[in-house]
Chains A and B, each alone.
Chain A
Amino acid sequence: MADLVVHAGLQAPGSRANGARLLTLLLLVALVGASLMSLAIGASGTSLWRAFNDLVSGQSLSLRDQVVLWDIRVPRTVLGVLVGASLAMSGAVLQGLFRNPLADPGIVGVSSGAGLGAISAIVLGSFLPAVLAERLGYYLVPVAAFLGGWASTLVLYGISTRKGRTSVGTMLLAGIALGALTGALSGIMVYVADDQQLRDLTFWGMGSLAGATWTKVIAATPLIMVAMLGTPFLARALNGLSLGEASAAHIGIPVQRMKRLAILAVAAATGASVAVSGGIGFVGIVVPHLLRLMVGPDHRYLLINSGLLGAALLLIADVISRTIIAPAELPIGIVTATLGGPFFLWILLRQRGLVDM
């Protein structure tokens, strides 16, 4: 990885940068296109174009069209953009931070912690005091997932930080141990779950944007936006870090502060994403790789491009998930993995020999 970064940076910086900027523009266009697609295509025949015409000519929409467009498709599209972008950017940040091509948001414990939170809420939700359960309603699971993700990341960060220095190596290993522990606790929950809860758990794990509501959008937006707007500031530091921590510190990069920021940003963005959409795999690990193969490892372009591509791809996957077996819906995690897996393998095979990770 580190070798690759240095070589690529030295080869032809000018053309790389131009290529990356062009790509950003293209991805932006693709994202707008995907958003329009997501607003326009769905199981029902509600047409975005007709609705637009009706509104312009002063006619009011039928209640059903209103609900389909405003309460179903719009929040779903917004959530798709946020979740896709945050998963892909988080993946890019972590792969840079850990200097490990296999890093994804799972590595800082967010996913497993969020999973445990969600599973506990599904299984034990009925034991909560009635007041709390009533207030949270069906937001109990997302809230528990978000808290679980955060708690798990903070514990992991605490374990790996000694005397103000976070050891990335310790974090990787402790993450495995913590993951096993949360996995075991989740296993206990699965064991005591009843038949219906088991099915809910299974579907939660496959992820979906189908539960998108305005409340979820409003709750998730600030967390994800702050994290996403913050990450580009990490780009130079992540570039420096590819030389190794010691070298990065020598050229004046505040390594420890950067690690803390990166980990907190990822925990906030991924925690919120997983909370509102369940477990959607693959986007976080594959999108940054795809872009690295296309325009090189410079984080100044990689982060923003990852966000754009992640958002566009997730929207397209969501459109497929809700139309392919309409009126039923395929969980989106299945779509991302079935389409993304073979495509990524193809890219790898094509590039074999050019890139050696």
Chain B
Amino acid sequence: MIRLAALCAFLAGPALADAYPNAQRIISVGGSVTEIVYALGEQDRLVGRDTTSSYPVAARALPDVGYMRRLSPEGVLSINPDLVLAEEGAGPPETIALLQGAALPMETIPGGYDRDAVGAKIFSVAQALGVPEKGRALSQQVLAEIDAALTEVAQQTRPPRVLFVLSMQGGRIMAAGANTSAQGILNLVGAQNALSGVDGYKLVTDEAIANSQADVILMMDRNAGRHQADVLRHPAILTTPAGVNQRLIRMDGLKLLGFSVRTGTAVRELSAALTQVQG
């Protein structure tokens, strides 16, 4: 009976945002959500996080309930939470249904990779935590940062062609196409995704890389260290302006792609780095 009710609740999808001002044992699932909870100054109410929640560093001290799409029902319950704040896509659905069966409230925070999505995320988290005022203030501040960064960006003349490299696997490059968080941040800084005709993160052929005529390569910090030299020596990349001029930008992954509190900073830093490497 409980399970049936839970299933119905699950299929009905996220309801209108509920507020839980009294929740004091919260598990935050999803790096961008955790970041917002900290930015709102509500971190004392957190008792757990998922593996993707690696920022701020203090969050890493919280118990880790696993990867956000593979949450273990008993693991989550073992921390005795009274609320789960989860980024869109948390799961698996079996776990979500069981947690709802255990009468554990769960609030889904919408995703998205643009300016408005950042505002909506901050607002939803603040609403769920029962601090809408703080949320309004924070989202105004963050959106103002993004807008300020955007006006700087607008002054650039020619949009640079950027190739976002997620990883290199045995000499093959996994790069970002359309409908990705990387595409989202490139849109914000007014850069052009050098890779066209690809959807999602894909392993792409050397010819597509050569065709991309990228001006700059963009990578996440964590992959860059060892791969940086490899990427800039990659034969296909060497045929692009980015390879010829050895232009590579590295940035913290969660900051760059999280679409959360630090998105304004990300836009400014990425934009500055683009201006700099283009000389």
Q: Is A327 a contact of B102 with CB atoms below 8 Å? A: no
Q: Separation in Å of the A218 CB from the closest CB of chain B?
A: 12
Q: Would A326 and B77 be within 8 Å (CB), given that A43-B72, A67-B2, A213-B94 are in contact?
A: no
Q: Is A72 a contact of B98 with CB atoms below 8 Å? A: yes
- Which one of B69, B73, B179, B200 lies within 8 Å of A199 (CB-CB)? B69
Does B64 sit at the interface, judged by CB under 8 A? Answer: yes
**Alpha-carbon separation in the docked complex, A45 to B75 (Å):** 10
Interface mask (B73-97 → A, CB under 8 Å = 1, otherwise 0): 1111111100000000100111101
Does B11 sit at the interface, judged by CB under 8 A? Answer: yes
Q: Separation in Å of the B192 CB from the closest CB of chain A?
A: 21
Does B70 sit at the interface, judged by CB under 8 A? Answer: yes
Q: Is B200 a contact of A329 with CB atoms below 8 Å? A: no
Q: Is B11 a contact of A137 with CB atoms below 8 Å? A: yes
Does A328 sit at the interface, judged by CB under 8 A? Answer: yes
- Which one of A68, A138, A331 lies within 8 Å of B93 (CB-CB)? A138
Does B20 sit at the interface, judged by CB under 8 A? Answer: no
Q: Is A71 a contact of B75 with CB atoms below 8 Å? A: no
Q: Would A327 and B79 be within 8 Å (CB), given that A134-B11, A213-B3 are in contact?
A: yes
Q: Is B75 a contact of A328 with CB atoms below 8 Å? A: yes
Does A94 sit at the interface, judged by CB under 8 A? Answer: no
**Alpha-carbon separation in the docked complex, A137 to B94 (Å):** 10
Does B214 sit at the interface, judged by CB under 8 A? Answer: no
Q: Is B200 a contact of A194 with CB atoms below 8 Å? A: yes
Q: Is B70 a contact of A329 with CB atoms below 8 Å? A: yes
**Alpha-carbon separation in the docked complex, A85 to B65 (Å):** 30
Does B233 sit at the interface, judged by CB under 8 A? Answer: no
Interface mask (A162-202 → B, CB under 8 Å = 1, otherwise 0): 00000000000000000000000000000101111001100
**Alpha-carbon separation in the docked complex, A67 to B104 (Å):** 11
**Alpha-carbon separation in the docked complex, A211 to B67 (Å):** 15
Q: Separation in Å of the B180 CB from the closest CB of chain A?
A: 7
- Which B residues are in CB contact (< 8 Å) with A134? 11
Q: Would A327 and B201 be within 8 Å (CB), given that A67-B77, A137-B11, A138-B92 are in contact?
A: no
Q: Is B65 a contact of A328 with CB atoms below 8 Å? A: yes
Q: Is B66 a contact of A72 with CB atoms below 8 Å? A: no
Q: Is B69 a contact of A196 with CB atoms below 8 Å? A: yes
Q: Is B74 a contact of A43 with CB atoms below 8 Å? A: yes
Q: Is A44 a contact of B92 with CB atoms below 8 Å? A: no
Does A233 sit at the interface, judged by CB under 8 A? Answer: no
Does A64 sit at the interface, judged by CB under 8 A? Answer: yes
Instruction: With a 10 A CB-CB cut-off, give which of B92, B97, B104 has the most chain A CB atoms.
Output: B92
Q: Would A329 and B2 be within 8 Å (CB), given that A45-B78, A195-B200 are in contact?
A: no
Does B54 sit at the interface, judged by CB under 8 A? Answer: no
- Which B residues are in CB contact (< 8 Å) with A12? none
Does A292 sit at the interface, judged by CB under 8 A? Answer: no
Q: Which residue of A lies closest to B72 (CB)?
A: A329
Chain B interface main SS type: mixed
Q: Would A203 and B202 be within 8 Å (CB), given that A43-B78, A137-B11, A137-B93 are in contact?
A: no
Q: Which residue of B lies closest to A210 (CB)?
A: B72
Q: Is B65 a contact of A327 with CB atoms below 8 Å? A: yes
- Which A residues are in CB contact (< 8 Å) with B67? 199, 203, 328
- Which one of B64, B65, B66, B98 lies within 8 Å of A71 (CB-CB)? B98
Q: Is B78 a contact of A42 with CB atoms below 8 Å? A: yes
**Alpha-carbon separation in the docked complex, A295 to B105 (Å):** 53
- Which A residues are in CB contact (< 8 Å) with B208? none
Does B63 sit at the interface, judged by CB under 8 A? Answer: yes
Does B101 sit at the interface, judged by CB under 8 A? Answer: yes
Does A344 sit at the interface, judged by CB under 8 A? Answer: no
Q: Is B66 a contact of A328 with CB atoms below 8 Å? A: yes
Q: Is A137 a contact of B7 with CB atoms below 8 Å? A: yes
Q: Which of A22-70 contact B (CB under 8 A)?
A: 42-45, 63-64, 67-68
Does B48 sit at the interface, judged by CB under 8 A? Answer: yes
Instruction: With a 10 A CB-CB cut-off, give which of A64, A138, A194, A325 has the most chain B CB atoms.
Output: A138
- Which B residues are in CB contact (< 8 Å) with A194? 179, 199-201
**Alpha-carbon separation in the docked complex, A308 to B122 (Å):** 53
Q: Is A322 a contact of B202 with CB atoms below 8 Å? A: no
Q: Is A203 a contact of B93 with CB atoms below 8 Å? A: no
Interface pairs (11), CB distance under 8 Å: A43-B75, A44-B74, A64-B102, A71-B2, A72-B74, A138-B92, A191-B203, A194-B179, A327-B48, A329-B70, A329-B75
Sample of 19 more A-B contacts, CB < 8 Å, known A67-B2, A211-B94: A42-B74, A43-B77, A64-B102, A64-B103, A67-B101, A67-B102, A137-B11, A138-B92, A138-B94, A191-B202, A194-B179, A195-B200, A195-B201, A199-B69, A200-B92, A210-B94, A211-B92, A213-B97, A328-B75
Q: B-side interface residues toward A, CB under 8 Å?
A: 2-3, 7, 11, 48, 51, 63-67, 69-70, 72-80, 89, 92-95, 97-98, 101-104, 179-180, 199-203
Q: 9 nearest interchain CB pairs?
A: A328-B66, A327-B75, A44-B78, A43-B78, A329-B72, A67-B102, A138-B93, A211-B94, A194-B200
